[in-house]
Amino acid sequence: MSDLKYRLKVMVMMMVIVSWRCVLGLENINPIFFDEGLSHLFGESNLIRSPDDRSVRLLLDKYTGSGFISSSMYQHGFFSSLIKLPGANTAGLVVAFYTSNGDVFVKNHDELDIEFLGNVEGKPWRFQTNMYGNGSTSRGREERYRLWFDPSKEFHRYSILWNPTKIIFWVDDVPIREIKRKEEMRGDYPQKPMSLYATIWDASSWATSGGKFGVDYTFSPFVSEFKDIALDGCNVSESLTTVTRDNYNNINCSASDQLLMTSDYSTISPKQAAAMRRFRERYMYYSYCYDTVRYAVPPPECVILTAEKDRFRDTGRLKFGGSHTKVHRARKRRRRNRSTPVVSAEL
């Protein structure tokens, strides 16, 4: 290859990388070293840090799972990581990336979850998002989805934005769920400082087909990798030696909150809003907002869309032969006839 052709090729590659970063807003994401803001949670022998301290592997074997936690608690924040999940037979597994304050506020804890649910070999991973506020675990707000890619093949970025007015769950550059705070939610909207957690563990009793398929340890160890982890928000631990039920209100987070509310990842562009609608139409297969068996009156944060509601039974699950199945098959046919990759924002 001539020197000119080589330089042109490099320039094109750099332009693609820069444009991709701009789409995701990655120029505003600042990954940390593990020692900068994270610490071991459990299963120490199954937590393996990279030599450059930028990534960590979490393993599950027949003896233990593993996990890490942020060294500080945050009053609102943006929590993000590139994650790659285990492959092969992952039935019974759960890999979780979430925020919680359950260790401090035992009876009225808050929580924001991204939980990946393993599956039998040949079947895709599924995942769910959830929100609890003020210990409202009896009022779970689960949504469950499929992905438009295989999360065990390569890294993808998963993010949680939590500020005083909204919560957004992101997969790469696609916002998949937005919860806008309403006065009627009261304490059900998370309001207390939370830590970031990442774990891998055995959930054989429920994770796959309601517990029908448990973890098969002949496939172990199961390895999930996290890298380029970002923590951005009001670090209350810098001002409080110990966060308690009474003292967290003494911290002024107004400057940090303002940054969170004006950041790229707290704003959904028209293009991203369209991508979110397409994602939910094609890949969401359960929503508590349409589960009238559990909630005769939808919780106050629910925005009931006729186009969405028509696809779900009164259990909140897709009707048989719903649009997801048809769209999925059509997409597979299109992929067989296409040589160029799909841009995720286009879904």
Structure tokens at 317: 């699950």
Catalytic residue among 44, 115, 121, 281: 115
Task: Give the Å distances, CA to CA, from 311 to 240, 282, 290, 346.
Answer: 48, 11, 10, 22
Q: Which residues contact 172 (CB under 8 A, 6 or more apart)?
A: 24, 156, 157, 344, 345
CA angle 50, 34, 173 (to 5 degrees): 90
CB 100 within 8 A of CB 195: yes
Pairwise CA distance, residues 80 & 148, whole Å: 19
CA angle 224, 229, 230 (to 5 degrees): 150
User: Is residue 115 annotated as a catalytic residue, yes or no?
Assistant: yes
Catalytic residue among 27, 36, 44, 111: 111
Pairwise CA distance, residues 90 & 29, whole Å: 31
CB 22 within 8 A of CB 220: no
Measured in whole angstroms, how far is the alpha carbon of residue 210 from the centre of its chain? 21
Catalytic positions, please? 111, 115
